[in-house]
Structure 1
Amino acid sequence: MRTLTVAAFVSLDGVMQAPGGPEEDSSSGFRFGGWIVPYADKTTGQAVQDLFSQPFELLLGRRTYDIFAAYWPNIQADSTHHTIADLFNAVPKHVATHRADSLAWHNSHALKGNLVDAINALKRQDGPQLLTQGSGDLVRQLLAAGLVDELRLMIHPILLGRGKRLFDDNAQASAFTLVNSISSPGGVLIARYIRSGEVRTGSFEGVR
Structure 2
Amino acid sequence: MRKLIVPAFVTLDGVIQSPGNPDEDTANGFTHGGWFWPYADEATDAMEELFRHPFELLLGRRTYDVFAGFWPNVAPDSPLRGTADLFNRTTKHVATHRPGALDWDHSRNLGTDVVAAVRALKHIDGPDLLTQGSSELVQQLLATDLVDELILIVVPILLGTGKRLFDERAQPTAFRLVSSTTSSKGNVVTRYVRAGEVPNASV
- Fold match, TM over 0.5? yes
Band the TM-score falls in, shorter-chain normalisation: over 0.9
Shift of residue 78, structure 1, vs aligned partner: 1.0
Partner secondary structure for residue 195 of structure 2: strand
Which one has the largest radius of gyration?
A: 1
Partner secondary structure for residue 153 of structure 1: strand
Alignment pair present for 1:4 and 2:7: no
Residue 115 of structure 2 aligns with which residue? 116
Q: CA RMSD in A?
A: 1.0
Shift of residue 96, structure 1, vs aligned partner: 0.4
Shift of residue 100, structure 1, vs aligned partner: 5.5
Residue 182 of structure 1 aligns with which residue? 181
* Residue ranges of structure 1 left out of the alignment (5+ in a row): none
Partner secondary structure for residue 9 of structure 1: strand
| Cα distance in structure 2, aligned partners of 1:181 and 1:131 | 20
Residue 92 of structure 2 aligns with which residue? 93
Taking every aligned residue pair, what percent have the same amino acid on both sides? 58
* Residue ranges of structure 2 left out of the alignment (5+ in a row): none
Aligned length: 203
**Does the aligned pair in 1 maintain the 2:10–2:152 contact within 8 Å?**
yes
Q: TM-score, normalised by structure 2?
A: 0.97
Residue 28 of structure 1 aligns with which residue? 28
Shift of residue 49, structure 1, vs aligned partner: 1.1
Q: TM-score, normalised by structure 1?
A: 0.95
**Does the aligned pair in 2 maintain the 1:16–1:165 contact within 8 Å?**
yes
Moved over 2 A (4+): 99-102
| Cα distance in structure 2, aligned partners of 1:81 and 1:17 | 21
Residue 196 of structure 1 aligns with which residue? 195
Spell out the pairing of 1:1-208 with structure 2 (5 A cutoff).
1-41=1-41, 43-99=42-98, 101-204=100-203
Write the deviation string for residues 101-160 of structure 1: whole angstroms up to 9, x where unpaired.
331001000002311111111011000000001000000000000000000111000011
**Does the aligned pair in 1 maintain the 2:97–2:112 contact within 8 Å?**
no
Partner secondary structure for residue 78 of structure 2: coil
Question: In structure 1, what residue type is equivalent to 2:32?
Answer: F
Shift of residue 192, structure 1, vs aligned partner: 0.7
**Does the aligned pair in 2 maintain the 1:8–1:16 contact within 8 Å?**
yes
Write the deviation string for residues 25-84 of structure 1: whole angstroms up to 9, x where unpaired.
11111111000010112x123222112111100000000000000000011121111111
**Does the aligned pair in 2 maintain the 1:22–1:31 contact within 8 Å?**
yes
